[in-house]
Amino acid sequence: MPILMKNVLKHELIGLGAKVTRSQNPFLIGIEGTIIDETKNTLIILENDEKKIIPKEVVVLRLNLADGTLIEVEGKEIVGRPEDRLKKRIRRW
């Protein structure tokens, strides 16, 4: 199944392009690169051959999907182990 805006939270994020657009920590805003790893509470983004550890809880990310679509995701929505996101209920607006 392709990654779409409606199901991105139930997919693997590793390999997607990401940019921190908002954060409680101003030093994180603007970090941009490819997600290379994910833990329960962090994303590791490769930016210019440098690994940046981003806490999920305090950021809003703009993700670049494979088809070129850009979406914004609240980091709070992706806190937790990647494998557990499949079981997590997603709030619909």
Neighbours of 14 (CB within 10 A): 13
The per-residue pLDDT for range 5-40, each reduced to its tens digit, is 556 677 788 999 999 999 999 999 999 999 999 999
pLDDT, residue 92, reads 52
Parallel/antiparallel/unpaired status of strands 59-64 and 70-74: antiparallel
Element (H, E) at 19: strand 17-23
- The strand pairing partners of 42, in sequence order, are 55
pLDDT in tens, 35-59: 999 999 999 999 999 999 999 999 9
Domain locations along the chain: 8-84
Q: What is the CATH number of domain 8-84?
A: 2.30.30.210
Q: What is the pTM of this model?
A: 0.83
